[in-house]
Amino acid sequence: MGCCTGSASACSRTSCSPFVVLNDSWLSLIKVKQERKEYAYSRVEVAPAPPQPPAEYFGVPNMVARTPDEFRQALGQALRMDGPCAAEAMVRPEIYSTILYG
């Protein structure tokens, strides 16, 4: 969620629509871009993710999903809420390269 704290903060101030967070517990999309461009792998260490993400970020309610069914429920709940909210999908980072580049 670290990359999305600005979005959560902005949403709490502006009452924007729900937003989706893809949480892979590390910055794996950077690695995917490095692989794709054949750059040397340079990583950034981040603190381990908590076992359960918080119920809110900057006062913005957060619905957490670990499965596709949970995500459908979380997104549906987020869309029905008045005001800003997040639907946070816990995803596996090792599949990004395949999804993005086949």
Question: CA 31 to CA 55: how far, in whole Å?
Answer: 28
Tell me how far apart the alpha carbons of residues 40 and 42 are, in angstroms, rounded to a whole number.
6
Q: Is the pLDDT of residue 70 over 80?
A: yes
**Region 50-77 average pLDDT:** 87
**What's the pTM value of the predicted model, to 2 decimals?**
0.67
Residue type, 49: A
**pLDDT tier at 1, thresholds 50, 70, 90:** very low
What pLDDT score was predicted for residue 47?
Answer: 66
